[in-house]
């Protein structure tokens, strides 16, 4: 398994950084909007690595990811068993083809099947809890926590929600 280490740049103002072997292929998966914005804020992590994205085909995502390799998934994911099943089939196909060694998500229902199948295929799974949830875990956080290799939180208050999490500080 590839070693993955997150740390906060002390005094440098940089966001959280992941160090792993150069051969790592990274999948960044999540909903568009704020979840996508938080993944984009991790550019120091993925900027020079082989990567691809899975998100919703929405105007913001199309514009922000125009220079990236993207797979579009089905939405809405909230309370839609049909789209969960469709995204599970999509996740199996994409993960089998791409074989990422690291999967990173800042949430959204799209991430759930990718985390479960990805972990079964041996990928390191990294979940970043969203910046605006301080009192309860997100539905995605609850769904992926059992298979998350690492859970990262942005506020000290979130450590109570995820006892084994690491604090990385705000991304936005």
User: Is 12 contained in some domain?
Assistant: no
Can you give the residue range of the structural domain that contains 120?
21-167
CA distances from 47 to 17, 26, 44, 148 (A): 11, 10, 6, 22
Whether the Cβ atoms of residue 141 and residue 119 lie closer than 8 Å to each other: no
User: Is 6 contained in some domain?
Assistant: no
Residue 47 is encoded by which pair of tokens? 């900027």
Provide the CATH number for the domain around residue 131. Answer: 3.40.50.2000
User: Is 136 contained in some domain?
Assistant: yes
Domain count of the chain? 1
Q: Which residue has the tokens 């875990």?
A: 137
**Alpha carbon of residue 109 to chain centroid:** 11
Residue % of the chain over a pLDDT of 70: 87
Residue 159 is encoded by which pair of tokens? 């450590």
| pLDDT at residue 125, rounded to an integer | 98
Q: What is the mean pLDDT of residues 1-11?
A: 33
User: Is 158 contained in some domain?
Assistant: yes
User: Is 30 contained in some domain?
Assistant: yes
Cα–Cα distance between 144 and 85 in angstroms, integer? 16
User: Is 25 contained in some domain?
Assistant: yes
Residue 108 φ/ψ region, left for φ over 0, alpha for ψ in the -120 to 50 degree band, beta for the rest: left
Per-residue confidence band for 14, with pLDDT thresholds at 50, 70 and 90? very low
User: Is 71 contained in some domain?
Assistant: yes
Q: Strands 17-19 and 5-7: what pairing?
A: antiparallel
Per-residue confidence band for 41, with pLDDT thresholds at 50, 70 and 90? very high
User: Is 44 contained in some domain?
Assistant: yes
């Amino acid at each position: 398994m590839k070693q993955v280490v997150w740390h906060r740049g002390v005094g440098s103002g940089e966001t959280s950084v992941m160090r792993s072997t150069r051969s790592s292929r990274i999948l960044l998966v999540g909903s568009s909007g704020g979840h996508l914005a938080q993944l984009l804020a991790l550019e120091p992590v993925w900027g020079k690595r082989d990567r691809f994205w899975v998100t919703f085909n929405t105007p913001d995502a199309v514009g922000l990811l125009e220079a990236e390799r993207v797979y579009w998934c089905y939405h809405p994911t909230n309370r839609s068993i049909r789209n969960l099943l469709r995204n599970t089939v999509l996740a199996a196909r994409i993960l089998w083809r791409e074989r990422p060694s690291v999967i990173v998500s800042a949430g959204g229902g799209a991430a759930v099947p990718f985390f479960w199948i990805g972990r079964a295929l041996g990928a390191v799974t990294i979940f970043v809890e969203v910046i605006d949830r301080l009192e309860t875990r997100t539905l995605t956080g609850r769904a992926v926590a059992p298979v998350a290799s690492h859970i990262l939180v942005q506020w000290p208050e979130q450590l109570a929600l995820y006892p084994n999490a690491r604090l990385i500080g705000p991304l936005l």
